[in-house]
């Protein structure tokens, strides 16, 4: 080879190596250190960099794809979720969400954990971990609830090899992380995705109920919608309720709420059953979504988990969870609190059956949607976003079926306002501060209670949703927002749905939520659209940049 | 029932040209008055013997008021219903626990008609008698309806469609007064009218059949369920019957009749006023006596 050519070739090779090094070193995940690395890539160069990085991480096993799902709103688009793994063990909260358009990446949003150096050989087996949890809670889980080995990033930046298991106890639906080496409890947080508030049962509104006639009895088993929607009457048996949720008991047709003449008289069962169907219909009609998992997962409602007449003697945790609450228990199962008997009051209010409020039912079911999509971790900011998404869906379902107004059975931006006598609410999207919740990021709760304030900080995203639709001025920042208008609320609903189910990772932050909703607005309505403008102004108004 | 053929059947009793009139029906010359009243003429063969023949003249055109000397007539006919009044009906039924409605606009088709008429002369050319007709037709229904949504109150779905082949049978019984008019040598016409009772038995739509699927925001019309409903009403009938006598007693003829009555029929919960009768044409045999 000619010496001059050799020089040129060597020069080109050096340039190529240097360029690659620069690119890699510029990559956030290539930086040294440990801990969480957040990313939002929506521009061409960033996207290309992350495409290359993702390809490398998939090749060496640090990322595993959960598979792609076709976009339900935009033809040609698809969404892929990639979980982070360390030596074959999933890293809790390490996840990227990649959106593609005809195979070309449009955006990557997520967070990964760097600097993991753990031995992934557990000393304990999964049953040992289950036994630890059983010792702690007094509750055993069934064989199909095997604890999962998982790398848990600690808040201080370290990592622990743990087993994760979710258990419904007498007073909580909790997630436990047990050290796989020592059996020590590393982390426990409540996964009780609830709307704490006002219950409503019977407002004497007549609604249709889709039932099934078997052996001369009408059962609360919906045979007209694509998924199985069923409502069980636990007849006040808390032990059976817990056993069912924990996978230790199978319910059968005799446990279904029933009626002799199809003129249903149990309002708790009527509302739970009807509103579950309405929520399914809303998801289908608004987003073309087929149920909680988009595969028509069965939707199961449990009513009467305790006996109303026992409320006075019920322990406080049982009273708070099974009387004055409702929660999504995973796997498409909702549990609705019993409320209080007529005449009994708590906090100066009478409490109806918790299945009686449409926004509450839709809120709980939206947790199921989150479970099967972004799976927003129910702690801190991601937990607040999880709650906010449920509030957004709950309110949106109200507006879908009810006339806008401020009375009973009317759509508004209050949560759970129909559950009590006299009427009250536990959150407001229009004015979160009125219920003690922040309307601005600067006012966010940073303590550890309530899983890091998931029910409080949700007010920030809730208010952004409200402002993006209705417009107005944020009371803290004084910034004005030009909303899209109530007649166009479907735009903002769709933007949030797309962002929260298809673009956000499990450990999302408010900042990611802003980026994801802006991306969704551009995807759906174009750059410069009123939806994008409203979202941008709304997030800025609530202090999220 | 077709009544049209009756009118002409009485014509044998009219005066005939020489050689054609039945001797049995010829009134004796002595019975004839010396002078015919103005406007009433006898046939040439009835001229009294010995009378001076009038100047030769052209044969007179058919008269409309020639004397009818027969005793009566009978006829049978086969024909068709050419037009009939339609009707509108409404039915309520229950779908998904809520009231559904059906509105039907019926068009009555052409169908075969069979009938018989008869009458007895009572005065001059006037006869009284009766008629019976049976008409069988099909109906075509233009259907529109509102079907409740399975999950929500007050969110009906509109559907429309057509249903045909619905059976309908009418039976007419009439008391008729007929007046004979001679049109030509062998051609006579009866004009008749009278009260009639028309009975009907017909299929009426009671419920919409449809297909629906999730999310049930629309429904597709597939047909109707029907009920056979009967009733009747008093009305009137009128018509003309023109016949041609082939022999002394037998002839053929055609009839055109219009009848109308109405009946209140209740296919399910709401009564419907149903028009009966219509325009019918028929042809058949005429018997004179």
| ipTM of this predicted structure | 0.71
Q: Hey, is B265 helix, strand or coil? A: strand
Termini Cα distance of chain A: 57
Interhelix angle A449-470/A380-401, nearest 10 degrees: 40
Q: Hey, is A339 helix, strand or coil? A: coil
* Helix spans in A288-422 (H): 316-318, 358-371, 380-401
Token code pair at residue A113: 């954990």
Distance from CA of A208 to the nearest CA of B (A): 6
Q: What residues are paired with A149 via a beta bridge? A: A163
* Three-state secondary structure of A479-533: CEECCCCHHHHHHHHHHHHHHHHHHCCCCCCHHHHHHHHHHHHHHHHCCCCHHHH
- Alpha-carbon span A5 to A16, nearest angstrom: 16
Contact residues, chain A to chain B, C-beta under 8 Å: 206-208, 210, 224-226, 262, 274, 277-278, 281, 284-285, 401
Pairing of strands A77-86, A89-101: antiparallel
Greater pLDDT, A27 or B235: B235
Residue-level pLDDT at A193: 46
Select which of A364, A398, A417, A532 is catalytic.
A364
Token code pair at residue B141: 């229904």
- Read off the pLDDT of residues B22-32 as tens digits, 9 standing for 90 and up: 333 444 443 33
The secondary structure element, H or E, covering residue B169 is strand B157-182
Torsion of CA A154, A158, A163, A169, to 10 degrees: -20
- Alpha-carbon span A356 to A347, nearest angstrom: 19
State the pLDDT confidence band at A319, using cuts at 50, 70 and 90. Answer: very high
Residue-level pLDDT at A353: 94
- Alpha-carbon span B85 to B107, nearest angstrom: 8
Asked if residue B89 has pLDDT above 90, the reply is yes
**Residue A364 is among the residues annotated as catalytic for this protein:** yes
Q: Which residues of chain B have a CB within 8 Å of the CB of A206?
A: 153
Q: Which residues of chain A have a CB within 8 Å of the CB of B153?
A: 206-208
Task: Indicate yes or no: CB of A277 within 8 angstroms of CB of B97.
Answer: no
Quick one: which of A426, A424, A410, A279 has its CA closest to A355? A279
Greater pLDDT, A46 or B28: A46
Task: Indicate yes or no: CB of B216 within 8 angstroms of CB of A224.
Answer: yes
- Alpha-carbon span A237 to A256, nearest angstrom: 14
- Longest pairwise C-alpha distance within chain A: 100
**Please, are residues A502 and A71 in contact by the beta-carbon 8 Å criterion?**
yes
- Alpha-carbon span A66 to A58, nearest angstrom: 12
Output the pTM of the full model.
Answer: 0.75
The CA distances from residue A383 to A187, A340, A367, A413, A503, in Å, are 15, 29, 11, 20, 16
Asked if residue B219 has pLDDT above 90, the reply is yes
* Helix spans in chain B (H): 6-9
Selected for mutation to probe chain A from B151, B154, B155, B218 (highest A CB count within 10 Å) is B151
Asked if residue A195 has pLDDT above 60, the reply is no
Quick one: which of B121, B188, B172 has its CA closest to B278? B172
Count the alpha carbons within 13 Å of B287 in the hemisphere toward its beta carbon: 8
Task: Indicate yes or no: CB of A226 within 8 angstroms of CB of B153.
Answer: no
Token code pair at residue A500: 């929260």
Q: What are phi and psi of A369, to 5 degrees?
A: -60, -45
Residue-level pLDDT at A192: 54
Greater pLDDT, A406 or B54: A406
Asked if residue A19 has pLDDT above 80, the reply is no
Q: Is A8 left (phi over 0), alpha (psi -120 to 50) or beta?
A: alpha
Quick one: which of A255, A221, A258, A229 has its CA closest to A240? A255
**Please, are residues B104 and B142 in contact by the beta-carbon 8 Å criterion?**
yes
Domains of chain A, first to last = 33-114 (3.10.450), 126-190 (3.10.450.40), 191-377 (3.10.170.10)
Greater pLDDT, A310 or A41: A310
Token code pair at residue A357: 């409020």
Quick one: which of A435, A356, A364 has its CA closest to A191? A364
Asked if residue A361 has pLDDT above 70, the reply is yes
- Longest pairwise C-alpha distance within chain B: 101
Quick one: which of B53, B102, B88 has its CA closest to B210? B102
How many CB atoms within 10 Å of residue B154?
7
Greater pLDDT, A167 or B107: B107
Distance of CA B60 to the CA centre of its chain: 34
How many CB atoms within 10 Å of residue A125?
14
Residues above pLDDT 70, as percent of chain A: 91
Window B:197-226, CB contacts with A under 8 Å? 214-217
State the pLDDT confidence band at B186, using cuts at 50, 70 and 90. Answer: confident
Q: Hey, is B28 helix, strand or coil? A: coil
Quick one: which of A480, A505, A497, A494 has its CA closest to A529? A494
Question: What is chain B's Cα-based Rg?
Answer: 27
Residue-level pLDDT at A29: 53
Quick one: which of A539, A541, A522 has its CA closest to A530? A522
Question: Which residue in chain B is spatially nearest to A278 when comparing CA positions?
Answer: B151
Question: Which residue in chain B is spatially nearest to A402 when comparing CA positions?
Answer: B152
Residue-level pLDDT at A206: 87
- Alpha-carbon span B132 to B2, nearest angstrom: 7
How much is the average pLDDT of A364-392?
A: 96
Residues above pLDDT 90, as percent of chain A: 64
- Alpha-carbon span B252 to A56, nearest angstrom: 103
How much is the average pLDDT of A505-520?
A: 96
Q: Which residues contact A16 (CB under 8 A, 6 or more apart)?
A: none
How much is the average pLDDT of A161-183?
A: 85
Quick one: which of A515, A480, A479 has its CA closest to A495? A515
Residues above pLDDT 70, as percent of chain B: 77
How many CB atoms within 10 Å of residue A476?
18
State the pLDDT confidence band at B37, using cuts at 50, 70 and 90. Answer: very low
**Residue A455 is among the residues annotated as catalytic for this protein:** yes
Token code pair at residue A498: 């797309």
Residue-level pLDDT at A174: 81
The answer to whether residue B85 neighbours chain A at the CB level (below 8 Å) is: no
State the pLDDT confidence band at A275, using cuts at 50, 70 and 90. Answer: very high
The CA distances from residue A7 to A16, A18, A69, in Å, are 14, 16, 49
Select which of A273, A294, A304, A455 is catalytic.
A455
Greatest mean pLDDT range, A480-489, B5-14, B183-192, B202-211: A480-489
State the pLDDT confidence band at A261, using cuts at 50, 70 and 90. Answer: confident
**Please, are residues A89 and A117 in contact by the beta-carbon 8 Å criterion?**
no
- Alpha-carbon span B117 to B115, nearest angstrom: 7
Greater pLDDT, B68 or A446: A446
How many CB atoms within 10 Å of residue A301?
28
Selected for mutation to probe chain B from A211, A222, A223, A224 (highest B CB count within 10 Å) is A224
Torsion of CA A251, A254, A260, A265, to 10 degrees: -40
Task: Indicate yes or no: CB of A210 within 8 angstroms of CB of B152.
Answer: no
- Alpha-carbon span A55 to B21, nearest angstrom: 118
**Please, are residues A370 and A385 in contact by the beta-carbon 8 Å criterion?**
no
- Alpha-carbon span A370 to A330, nearest angstrom: 10
Termini Cα distance of chain B: 22
Instruction: Say which of A210, A284, A401 has its CB closest to residue B215.
Output: A284
Q: Which residues of chain A have a CB within 8 Å of the CB of B96?
A: 208
Window B:145-164, CB contacts with A under 8 Å? 150-153
Token code pair at residue A155: 């808040």
Quick one: which of B153, B167, B146 has its CA closest to B103? B146
- Alpha-carbon span A297 to A225, nearest angstrom: 11
Asked if residue A221 has pLDDT above 70, the reply is yes
**Please, are residues A483 and A472 in contact by the beta-carbon 8 Å criterion?**
yes
- Read off the pLDDT of residues A333-358 as tens digits, 9 standing for 90 and up: 999 999 999 999 998 889 999 999 99
State the pLDDT confidence band at B66, using cuts at 50, 70 and 90. Answer: low
- Alpha-carbon span B232 to B198, nearest angstrom: 5
Question: Which residue in chain B is spatially nearest to A284 when comparing CA positions?
Answer: B215
Distance of CA B258 to the CA centre of its chain: 5
Quick one: which of A48, A49, A108, A42 has its CA closest to A81? A108
E strands, A320-423, in order: 326-330, 333-336, 350-351, 414-415, 420-421
How much is the average pLDDT of B154-174?
A: 95
Distance of CA A128 to the CA centre of its chain: 29
Q: What are phi and psi of A255, to 5 degrees?
A: -90, -10
Distance from CA of A264 to the nearest CA of B (A): 12
Quick one: which of B152, B180, B96 has its CA closest to A262? B96
Domains of chain B, first to last = 6-15+61-288 (2.40.160.20)
């Amino acid at each position: 080879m000619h010496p001059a050519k050799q020089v040129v070739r060597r020069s080109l090779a050096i340039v190529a190596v240097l360029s690659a090094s620069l690119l890699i070193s510029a990559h956030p995940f290539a930086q040294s250190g440990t801990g969480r690395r957040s990313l939002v890539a929506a521009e061409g160069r960033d996207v290309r960099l992350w495409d290359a990085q993702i390809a490398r991480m998939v090749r060496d096993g640090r990322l595993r794809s959960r598979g792609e799902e076709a976009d339900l709103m935009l033809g040609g688009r698809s969404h892929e979720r990639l979980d982070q793994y360390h030596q074959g063990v999933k890293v809790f909260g390490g996840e990227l969400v990649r959106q593609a358009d005809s195979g070309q990446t449009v955006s990557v949003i997520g967070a990964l954990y760097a600097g993991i150096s753990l031995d992934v050989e557990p000393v304990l087996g999964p049953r040992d971990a289950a036994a630890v949890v059983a010792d702690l809670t007094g509750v055993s889980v069934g064989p199909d609830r095997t604890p999962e080995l998982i790398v848990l990033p600690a808040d201080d930046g370290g990592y622990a090899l743990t087993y994760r298991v979710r258990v419904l106890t007498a007073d909580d639906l909790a997630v436990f992380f047990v050290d796989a080496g020592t059996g020590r409890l590393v982390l426990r947080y409540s996964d009780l995705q609830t709307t704490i508030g006002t219950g409503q049962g019977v407002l004497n509104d007549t609604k249709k109920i889709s039932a099934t006639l078997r052996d001369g009895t009408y059962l609360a088993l919906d045979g007209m919608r694509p998924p199985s929607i069923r409502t069980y009457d636990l007849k006040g048996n808390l032990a059976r309720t817990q056993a069912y949720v924990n996978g230790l008991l199978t319910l059968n047709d005799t446990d279904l709420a029933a009626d002799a003449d199809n003129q249903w008289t149990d309002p708790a069962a009527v509302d739970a059953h009807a509103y579950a169907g309405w929520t399914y219909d809303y998801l289908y009609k608004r987003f073309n979504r087929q149920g909680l998992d988009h595969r028509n997962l069965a939707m199961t409602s449990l009513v009467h988990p305790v006996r109303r007449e026992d409320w006075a003697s019920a322990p406080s945790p049982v009273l708070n969870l099974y009387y004055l609450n409702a929660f999504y228990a995973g796997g498409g199962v909702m549990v609705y609190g019993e409320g209080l008997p007529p005449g009994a009051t708590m906090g100066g209010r009478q409490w109806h059956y918790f299945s009686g409020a449409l926004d509450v039912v839709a809120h709980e079911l939206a947790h199921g949607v989150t479970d099967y999509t972004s799976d927003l971790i129910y702690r801190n900011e991601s937990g607040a976003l999880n709650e906010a998404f449920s509030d957004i869906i709950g309110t949106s379902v109200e507006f879908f079926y009810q006339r806008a107004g401020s009375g009973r059975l009317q759509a508004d931006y209050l949560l759970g306002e129909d559950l009590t006598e006299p009427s009250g609410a536990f959150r407001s999207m229009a004015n979160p501060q009125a219920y003690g919740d922040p309307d601005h990021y600067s006012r966010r709760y940073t303590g550890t209670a309530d899983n890091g304030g998931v029910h409080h900080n949700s007010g920030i995203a809730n208010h952004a949703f409200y402002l993006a639709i209705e417009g107005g001025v944020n009371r803290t920042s004084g910034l004005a927002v030009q909303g899209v208008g109530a007649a166009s609320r479907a735009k903002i609903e769709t933007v949030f749905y797309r962002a929260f189910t298809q673009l956000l990772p499990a450990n999302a932050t408010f900042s990611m939520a802003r980026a994801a909703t802006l991306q969704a607005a551009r995807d759906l309505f174009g750059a410069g659209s009123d939806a994008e403008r409203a979202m941008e102004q709304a997030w800025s108004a609530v202090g999220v940049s | 029932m077709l009544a049209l053929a009756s009118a002409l059947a009485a014509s044998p009793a009219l005066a005939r040209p020489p050689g054609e009139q039945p001797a049995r029906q010829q009134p004796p010359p002595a019975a004839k008055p010396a002078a015919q009243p103005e406007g009433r003429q006898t046939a040439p063969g009835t001229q009294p013997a010995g009378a001076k023949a009038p100047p030769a003249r052209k044969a007179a055109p058919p008269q409309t008021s020639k004397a009818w000397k027969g005793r009566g007539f009978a006829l049978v006919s086969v024909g068709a219903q050419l037009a009939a009044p339609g009707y509108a009906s409404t039915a309520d039924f229950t779908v998904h626990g809520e009231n559904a409605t059906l509105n039907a606009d019926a068009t009555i088709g052409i169908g075969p008609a069979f009938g018989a008429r008869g009458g007895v002369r009572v005065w001059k050319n006037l006869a009284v008698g009766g008629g019976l007709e049976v008409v069988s037709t099909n109906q075509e229904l233009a259907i529109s309806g509102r079907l409740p949504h399975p999950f929500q109150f007050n969110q009906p779905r509109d559907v429309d469609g057509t249903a045909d082949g619905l059976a309908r049978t009418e039976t007419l019984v009439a008391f008729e007064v007929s007046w004979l008019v001679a049109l030509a040598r062998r051609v006579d016409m009866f004009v008749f009218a009278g009260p009639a009772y028309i009975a009907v038995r017909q299929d009426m739509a009671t419920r919409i059949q449809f297909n629906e699927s999730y999310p049930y925001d629309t429904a597709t019309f597939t047909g109707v369920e029907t009920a056979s409903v009967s009733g009747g009403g008093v009305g009137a009938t009128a018509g003309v019957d023109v016949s041609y006598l082939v022999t002394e007693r037998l002839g053929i003829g055609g009839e055109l009749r219009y009848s109308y009555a109405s009946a209140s029929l209740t296919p399910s919960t709401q009564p419907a006023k149903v028009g009966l009768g219509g325009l019918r044409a028929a042809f058949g045999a005429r018997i004179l006596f």
